Structure 1
Amino acid sequence: MNDAHGYFVFFHPQALEALGNPIKPYLLGEGENQHILCREVDTGGALIEMTLAGQTPDGKTVQIELMVPGSMVRMIVSAHGDEQFGFQPRYPAAPAQALPPVGPAGAPAQSAPQSVPADTGDAPTQTPPKP
């Protein structure tokens, strides 16, 4: 599977039975694990469109489009090994900077130096001159 790029499309057993012999050349796996390896999958409509790579009897590579009703598909699995998948950032997150502990569980708080002198009533107050 390391060289596989695309999607594994798994079918319900009843769907494989209903599709019969025409689907068999495209299937990989055995029993209930039978699936199709696709380059692309379009799930936008009533039919699921699968794009596969194939070969003609004389060895030419062809693109095959296979469409089945969406109700026949049990599961679609991404087989992309070199890309990220899911709801996450596509860039590596920067490591978080550790902050010093604060509060009751952290180090005791230091009192801040007082920059404004306290009013003790001893200092003379200036009043503006009268005109």
Structure 2
Amino acid sequence: MNGHDGYAVFFFPQALEALGDAIKPYLTDQPDGPHLFCKEIDTGGAFTEMMLVGKSPEGHEVHVELMVPGSMIRMIVSAQSETVFGFGPRVAAAAP
């Protein structure tokens, strides 16, 4: 992903087609496929609510809440930048 904490949300191809131009400004087109990168996500309803963080043309941070039917989502991947992975106690990594 892009090294930030959050979630990468991948859509079914038919969903991207149905959403059309409305979804395009929010998509990140990476080698792993077009997806949304969200800071927060709530899947507890008919609509999946996603909080996106971006920059305005003036450089200010902008928060956008986007909601789509849950049936449009193919996969959600957690993209946490923790260096420790696996089971067991978590110990802070030493600074380089």
* TM bracket, shorter-chain basis: 0.7 to 0.9
Question: Displaced runs of 4+ in structure 1, greater than 4 A?
Answer: 83-86
Query: Any idea what SS the aligned residue of 1:34 has?
Result: strand
Would the aligned equivalents of 1:13 and 1:32 in 2 still touch at CA under 8 Å?
no
Identity of matched residues, %: 57
Deviations 1:64-102 (A, max 9, x none): 11100000000000000217678x55x26xxxxxxxxxx
1:106-125 alignment runs, 5 A limit: none
Counterpart of 1:55, as a letter, is K
Q: C-alpha separation between the residues in 1 aligned to 2:15 and 2:71?
A: 8
Q: CA separation of 1:20/1:5 partners in 2, compared to 1, >3 Å: closer, same or farther?
A: same
Question: What stretches of structure 1 of length at least 5 have no aligned partner?
Answer: 93-131
Deviations 1:7-53 (A, max 9, x none): 00000000000000010011112698110111011001110001110
Question: What stretches of structure 2 of length at least 5 have no aligned partner?
Answer: 91-96
1:1-131 alignment runs, 5 A limit: 1=1, 3-29=3-29, 33-82=33-82, 88-89=87-88, 91=89
Q: Which residue of 2 aligns with 1:119?
A: none
How far off its partner does 1:57 sit? 2.1
Q: C-alpha separation between the residues in 2 aligned to 1:2 and 1:27?
A: 13
Relative to its length, the structure with more strand (as a share) is 2
How far off its partner does 1:5 sit? 1.1
TM-score (ref. length: structure 1): 0.60
Q: C-alpha separation between the residues in 1 aligned to 2:48 and 2:83?
A: 23
Query: Any idea what SS the aligned residue of 1:16 has?
Result: helix
RMSD between aligned residues: 2.4
Q: CA separation of 1:83/1:42 partners in 2, compared to 1, >3 Å: closer, same or farther?
A: farther
Counterpart of 1:63, as a letter, is H
Question: Relative contact order: is structure 1 or structure 2 higher (C-alpha 8 Å, sep ≥ 6)?
Answer: 2
TM-score (ref. length: structure 2): 0.80
